[in-house]
Amino acid sequence: MLTIKEKQELNVQKALSFRGIIEESELESIKRDMDSVIINNNISARGEFITVTYGIEGEKLDMELIIPIDSDVDVTAEGYRIRDDVRIENAVVASYQGSPDTFTDVFMELNRYITDNNLEPATAGYNVFRGSVYNEIEGCMDICVDVYLGVAN
């Protein structure tokens, strides 16, 4: 299931961020490292996990992983930092619930919507993972993701 809305906002006040050139196989390890930073510094995650892909070259992804947190922490590891603000003020949001296998179709639909409505992308897509739910019809887990794409006014 996919719904698309305009004039939406993404606003995260404080977040632990990792950005680097990585392979897809490294995502889980980086996410575990981020979870360890949160636990070891006695802070809490306070929102949904967010990913942003800025570019792809062969097997390498220029990617940012973002976890909203409840307080500041000193981060010294390479690629990690604290972002005080993650904000997209004028976004088109594609809300998806379905199989992880067909998630890439969301981007084709979002691009079609942007083209059909003469909108101009202003940001990369921010994938906000809201979790997963059991799909009784298919007998499997569906993912729930909101894809935020900022557009020019």
Supply 26's token pair.
């490294």
Instruction: Name the strand (E) or helix (H) holding 84.
Output: none
**C-alpha to C-alpha distance for 124 and 73, rounded to whole angstroms:** 26
**C-alpha to C-alpha distance for 134 and 13, rounded to whole angstroms:** 31
Query: Count of CB atoms within 10 A of residue 120's CB?
Result: 9
Q: What is the mean pLDDT of the segment spanning 3-26?
A: 95
Categorize the per-residue pLDDT at 143 as very low, low, confident or very high, splitting at 50, 70 and 90: confident
**C-alpha to C-alpha distance for 35 and 64, rounded to whole angstroms:** 15
Predicted confidence (pLDDT) per residue in 38-73, tens digit: 998 889 999 899 999 999 999 999 999 999 999 888
CB 53 within 8 Å of CB 61: yes
Question: At which residue do the structure tokens 């305009």 appear?
Answer: 6
Share of the chain above pLDDT 90, in %: 69
Predicted confidence (pLDDT) per residue in 68-104, tens digit: 999 888 887 788 999 999 999 999 999 998 888 899 8
**C-alpha to C-alpha distance for 135 and 132, rounded to whole angstroms:** 9
Alpha carbon 94 to its chain centroid, in Å, reads 12
